[in-house]
Amino acid sequence: MLGGNGTIIVRLWQLVNRMHILWLDPFHGGSHAAVAAGYAARSHHRVTLLSLPISGGWRWRMRGGAVSLARMARAANLRPDLIIASDMLDLAAFRALSADIFGGVPAAVYFHENQLTYPLPPGRTRDLSFAWVNYTSALCADAVIFNSDFHRSAFLAALPAMLARYHDYQELQTVGEIAAKAHVLAPGIDLERLGGPTEADGGSPVILWNSRWEYDKQPEAFFAGLEALEVRGASFRLIIAGEHIDPHAPAFAAARERWAARSLHWGYAAEQAEYARLLRRSTIVVSTAIQEFFGIGVVEAMACGCAPILPRRLNYPHLIPADLHSSHLYDDDAGMVSLLLGALADTGTGGDTWRALAAPYGWPRAAPRYDALFANLAQGLGGRRFLT
With contact defined as beta carbons under 8 Å apart, do 354 and 285 qualify? no
Say how many residues make up the chain: 388
Paired with 47 in beta bridges are: 21
Residue 10 has pLDDT above 90, yes or no: no
Per-residue pLDDT reduced to its tens digit, 136-170: 999 999 999 999 999 999 999 999 999 999 999 99
With contact defined as beta carbons under 8 Å apart, do 373 and 309 qualify? no
Per-residue pLDDT reduced to its tens digit, 229-252: 999 999 999 999 988 867 777 888
DSSP string computed for 325-362: HHHHEESSHHHHHHHHHHHHHTTTSSHHHHHHHHGGGB
- Give mean pLDDT, residues 177-205: 93
Its pTM stands at: 0.92
Q: In the chain, what are the domains?
A: 5-188+363-380 (3.40.50.2000), 191-361 (3.40.50.2000)
Per-residue pLDDT reduced to its tens digit, 41-76: 999 999 999 999 999 999 999 999 999 999 999 999
Distance between alpha carbon 250 and the CA centroid of its chain, in Å?
A: 29
Which carries the bigger pLDDT value, residue 155 or residue 380? 155
With contact defined as beta carbons under 8 Å apart, do 200 and 276 qualify? no
The closest alpha carbon to 288, from 264, 268, 314, belongs to 314
Per-residue pLDDT reduced to its tens digit, 340-374: 999 999 876 689 999 999 999 999 999 999 999 99
Please give the pLDDT value at position 249. Answer: 77
- Give mean pLDDT, residues 299-311: 97
With contact defined as beta carbons under 8 Å apart, do 229 and 341 qualify? yes
For residues 136 and 260, give the distance between their C-alpha atoms in angstroms, rounded to a whole number.
48
